[in-house]
Amino acid sequence: MIGKPSNAANTTQTVEPAPVAGPNHVAIIMDGNGRWAQKKGKIRTFGHKAGVESVRAAVRFARKANIQSLTLFAFSSENWKRPEEEVSVLMELFNLVLNSEAKRLHKNGVRLKVIGDVSAFDSKLVEKIRKAEAMTENNQDLVLNIAANYGGRWDIVNAAKVVAQHVATGEMRVDDINEDTFSTHISTAKLPELDLLIRTGGEHRISNFLLWQCAYAELFFTDVLWPDFNEEVFQLAVDDFNVRQRRFGLTGEQLLTPGS
Ligand code: IPE
Ligand code: IPE
Ligand code: MG
């Protein structure tokens, strides 16, 4: 169990607090850019640009905190419905950030992956994504997943299509389909289970993010708007995660006394 270290008040012995494992895989719904800009009397895209610094802070923190995977929701499959001007600034920003950050991520041992249906993007952008992924593919310190044109339902349907294909070609029988075989076709397949989902911007919803992966994730919501997110806020979320009792369907007593 992950919990608060016990307090050895009645003994003279020094009891080392049990090391806290911390989350292996954290995902963030980076929300609130538009409102942050509007509060400052600026146009919404000013907030998207400001949000890039928060992405850097999140990556920095994840590396320091030994988080193995960080999955950031950058653009949802529904975000295409926004005004054309905003969508095009977001695409441009994605391009610029890939140009300016890919080498730095590589130098810092970060493996970059983009999850989502990138076929809808401009071919030059897709090429840039593939190049950055190939350059960083052997890095081990942190896997940084950028969810772009991503939808949780798309992810599930996509996995179902691959499984259906295996059945159609006879490689797999319907009876062999189970949660484990299905999971291997989800976009985050090779990563640790999602432990913690953070959403900034004050809304308490998933907005079609990692639907399959959220099954047993701990959820942390904060009113902080994404451009104001920093390492301290990330630390608060991790501290909160570290004192939760994750029961996975068991009772609290079972966790405290294994075998009971
Ligand atoms: C999140 O911030 C960024 C994207 C969805 C691309 P928003 O742009 O949704 O900001 P708010 O929620 O309107 O303030
Ligand atoms: C979720 O934020 C998507 C991203 C952060 C990329 P939205 O702003 O699109 O979510 P809703 O529309 O408020 O649910
Ligand atoms: Mg929003």
Tens-digit pLDDT string for the chain (260 aa): 444 444 444 444 565 655 678 999 999 999 999 999 999 999 999 999 999 999 999 999 999 999 999 999 999 999 999 999 999 999 999 999 999 999 999 999 999 999 999 999 999 999 999 999 999 999 999 999 999 999 999 999 999 999 999 999 999 999 999 999 999 999 999 999 999 999 999 999 999 999 999 999 999 999 999 999 999 999 999 999 999 999 999 999 999 998 87
- Tell me if 33 CB under 6 Å of ligand 1: yes
Q: Give CA–CA dist 203/223, Å, rounded.
A: 8
- 77 is known to lie in a ligand binding site: yes
- Angle, CA of 19, 25 and 28, to the nearest 5°: 120
pLDDT reported for residue 4 = 41
* β-bridge mates for residue 74, sequence order: none
pLDDT reported for residue 258 = 84
**Is 28:72 a contact under the CB 8 Å cutoff?**
yes
Which sign does the torsion angle of CA 53, 54, 59, 62 carry?
Answer: positive
Closest CA to 222 of 80, 43, 54: 54
**Is 132:97 a contact under the CB 8 Å cutoff?**
no
Closest CA to 45 of 114, 91, 97, 76: 91
Instruction: Specify the pTM.
Output: 0.92
pLDDT reported for residue 177 = 97
pLDDT reported for residue 103 = 97
How far does the centroid of ligand 3 lie from the alpha carbon of residue 75, in Å? 10
Pairing of strands 218-221, 142-150: unpaired
Q: Could you confirm whether domain 25-152+193-250 is CATH 3.40.1180.10?
A: yes
How far does the centroid of ligand 2 lie from the alpha carbon of residue 110, in Å? 26
Return the best residue to mutate from 29, 30, 31 for the ligand 2 pocket (most ligand atoms within 8 A of CB): 31
Contacts of 159 (CB under 8 A, 6+ apart): 182, 185, 186, 212
Domain residues of the chain, as ranges? 25-152+193-250
DSSP conformation class of 257:
S
- 199 is known to lie in a ligand binding site: yes
Distances (CA, A) of 220 to 18, 29, 63, 209, 238: 23, 10, 20, 14, 9
